[in-house]
Amino acid sequence: MGPSSVPHSAGMRRFIIQKSRKAIYLYQDIVSTIGYKIFGIEYISRRLERSDSYMTQVLLSRYGARVGRNINFKGGIVIDNASKDEDATNDFSNLIIGNNCYIGKKVFFDLPSRIDIEDEVIIGAGVSVFTHADCGKRIMSQYFPRKTGPVKIGRGSWIGANATILCNVTIGEKCVVAAGSVVTRSFGPNEIVGGVPAQKMGDISERESRTKNAGVEFHGGSVEIET
């Protein structure tokens, strides 16, 4: 085997991989389309639980979600109540995800009402976002009647792993929600919150001052070290 055959072989492997990937995506696309026609939006919800980042964006956009650019879906996501709920839309139109967001593995979106995730948001693995609470036609409903409400996560916020956000909550821009927290009420911009239920623990401006004193500067969401 001559030296010139090595790059040729590497190029051929890349070509085969690219063609194979396109064929796999085409197959998944066809299967999803057929499944939707037979079983409806619940079939697409199940597909999303095992889709990669590319197919997740394709399926969300095709079936009603507004999805921005440069989103990293780390793994499958879980969508509930896109159908079979009294407020269901039978699509994903209640989900809005802005540009340059990160969505971790097994993030749960409950869609009877709107979930609005603005640009630059980080959502850690296992986070649950609820837009309704309902006991159904059971004894507890006389004490806890059904309630619904949208959730909004402001630009640049970071939701730690396994946090839970309940309905009718707004999280302001550049907030941090500690891992495992349960957010039951709204918080303003630049707040650090945590706990069960979540309470204010600090302010981003305090951390920003400390990092600046240590020679770190913030520029539009990125961090640069002064030299």
pLDDT of residue 24: 80
- And the tokens for 162? 């396994």
Confidence of residue 20 (pLDDT cuts 50, 70, 90): confident
User: Peptide bond before 197: cis, by omega within 30 degrees of 0?
Assistant: yes
Task: Please indicate, yes or no, whether the overall pTM of this predicted structure exceeds 0.85.
Answer: no
Name the residue among 49, 61, 88, 99 with its Cα closest to residue 220.
Answer: 99
Do the bridges between strand 132-133 and strand 147-148 make them parallel or antiparallel, or are there none, so unpaired? antiparallel
- Per-residue pLDDT of 108-154, as tens digits, reads 999 999 999 999 999 999 999 999 999 999 999 999 999 999 999 99
Share of the chain above pLDDT 70, in %: 86
- And the tokens for 218? 């913030």
Q: What's domain 66-216's architecture?
A: 3 Solenoid (2.160)
Per-state percent for the chain, helix, strand, coil, to nearest 5: 30, 25, 45
Beta-carbon contacts of residue 224 (< 8 Å; ≥ 6 apart) = 216, 217, 218
pLDDT reading at 224 higher than 50: no
* Ramachandran angles phi, psi of 157, nearest 5°: -75, 160
Contact 56, 63 (CB under 8 A): no
Crossing angle of helices 53-62/41-48, nearest 10°?
160
Ordered by start, the domain boundaries in the chain are: 66-216
Residue 93 DSSP symbol: T
Name the residue among 3, 20, 221, 13 with its Cα closest to residue 121.
Answer: 221
- Residue 50 and residue 111: Cα distance in Å, rounded? 19
Neighbours of 128 (CB within 10 A): 17
pLDDT reading at 215 higher than 90: no
- Per-residue pLDDT of 186-196, as tens digits, reads 999 999 999 99
Neighbours of 102 (CB within 10 A): 15
